[in-house]
Amino acid sequence: MYKKFTLSNGIKVVMEHIPYINSISMGVWILSGSRYENEVVNGVSHFIEHLMFKGTTNRTAKQIAEQIEELGGQINAFTGKEATCYYVKLLDEHYKVGIDVLSDMILNPKFSDEDIHKEKGVIIEEIKMYDDSPEDLVMDILSKSTWGKDSLAYPILGYENNIKDLKSKQIKEYFNKTYAPENIVISIAGNFNSLVIEEELERKFSHLKSGGINKAEFTSPNINRNVMVKNKDIEQTHVAFSLKGIELGNDKLYTLLAINNYFGGGTSSKLFQKIREEKGYVYTIYSFPTVYKNVGTFNIYFALNEMFLDSAMELILEEFNNIIKFKMTDEEIKKAKEQLKGNYILGLESTSSRMFGLGKAELMLGEVHEPKEILDKIDQIKRDDIEEVIDLVFRDGILSAASVGRNINEDKLQSLIWRKS
């Protein structure tokens, strides 16, 4: 059973007590990410995530890491387009240390000019590292191709020039407005005493005051019909597509996840078996839904020798036509649902996975479903649901695309994508 409550300053807390384990995972979630940024400060959310580990008014950067790791625990963070999360995993007996370190980071970051200067260099190196990873790079380009000038197109890391130009004042202003109680959810999963945890959270986090900003407004962008390419001297050609998808919180997402398992989500899927196993055109090919608060896409990614691009595209478009025409058999639907349930249940064995699920659901949707509710939603997927979502996703074909590789011809790629899709 989940328990939800609100601290005196407005921070929401969602917890799941799991009495048969000896660990606890805790996360502090903030409505902070590249989707809330503008062109001038793009990258600031991720920059702040880095700075939070550089020290507080009470701890050095080394002490933040040391006080968790010396207990055998883990501490880390990530920034996405819609949320930032700081999290720890510890033995349950050390819960107070976890709460103390996380609250200190959120309430008392140092943000020294020296650290800001140093971290600019670190993040610029991170941007260069991603630029050297074609799979990451092509997905960033796909975001631009798909969303155009909307903030969903912004890279999470920002651009090198943005990072160089970020001023201390801009960083602190963004932090003060964003890291406010109304934008924060704390999620906890593991073995703990609810009353004790509630008291400790209130004691440590209630001092955080409102930054004077309400929860961010979400845009409702349309998917562009667009192709973008980047020529880069690498051995393979990397290609990614966007089709229509389902937004976060829509129950049709479970149906799309089942379809994804069948179509391209794993090594037994149609795309992998046909294009990798039967033809040997690619090493990697997979599909996946990308979901945001009020919009979503269905994506496909693959990498191959450029000489096989025409043949691989022909087969991918053939599979589009097949799924539109033949949909899925009853046996295929049953298998896809069982795979989806199995993946979900196995994920429940990790307190970290449970904590992540709780925090994201509460932060983005304001509601959390019990595991039985999720499994019931999957069980209730019917043939009509499958056929409706297949038509929604595949009927209009590929809407936007991106490619990274050597001497890519943009016009040729467009003709390959849209000749039959």
* 93-114 pLDDT per residue, tens: 999 999 999 999 999 999 999 9
Of 140, 174, 205, the residue at which a domain comes to its end is: 205
- What CATH number is attached to the domain comprising 395? 3.30.830.10
Same domain, 248 and 166: no
Same domain, 132 and 232: no
Do the domain assignments include residue 377? yes
- Tokens at 395, concatenated: 């009927």
User: Among this protein's residues, is 173 annotated catalytic?
Assistant: no
Count of other CB atoms within 10 angstroms of residue 199: 11
Nearest to 11 by CA among 170, 147, 154, 201: 201
Same domain, 193 and 293: no
Nearest to 393 by CA among 299, 315, 262: 299
Q: Residue 200 belongs to what domain range?
A: 2-205
Do the domain assignments include residue 31? yes
Nearest to 179 by CA among 270, 79, 293: 79
| Torsion sign over Cα 392, 409, 148, 141 | positive
What is residue 18's predicted lDDT score, i.e. its pLDDT?
A: 94
Residues comprising the chain, all counted:
421
Answer yes or no: are the C-beta atoms of 355 and 76 closer than 8 Å.
Answer: no
Do the domain assignments include residue 69? yes
Nearest to 308 by CA among 238, 217, 392, 371: 238
Nearest to 191 by CA among 45, 393, 15: 15
Same domain, 164 and 290: no
Same domain, 66 and 186: yes
Same domain, 146 and 235: no
Answer yes or no: are the C-beta atoms of 339 and 310 closer than 8 Å.
Answer: no
CA distances from 375 to 32, 141, 218, 254, 261 (A): 30, 35, 29, 10, 16
Do the domain assignments include residue 213? no
Positions of the chain with pLDDT lower than 70, given as ranges: 211-216, 420-421
Nearest to 223 by CA among 416, 391, 393: 393
Number of domains present in the structure of the chain: 2
Q: How far apart are CA 412 and CA 409, in angstroms?
A: 5
Question: Active-site residue among 49, 119, 200, 319?
Answer: 49
What is residue 212's predicted lDDT score, i.e. its pLDDT?
A: 58
Q: How far apart are CA 244 and CA 393, in angstroms?
A: 5
Same domain, 173 and 280: no
- Tokens at 255, concatenated: 């149906």
What is residue 219's predicted lDDT score, i.e. its pLDDT?
A: 80
Same domain, 199 and 243: no
Same domain, 201 and 237: no
CA distances from 5 to 12, 169, 182 (A): 6, 34, 13
* Strand 296-304 relative to strand 282-291, pairing: antiparallel
Do the domain assignments include residue 320? yes
Same domain, 158 and 115: yes
Same domain, 240 and 183: no
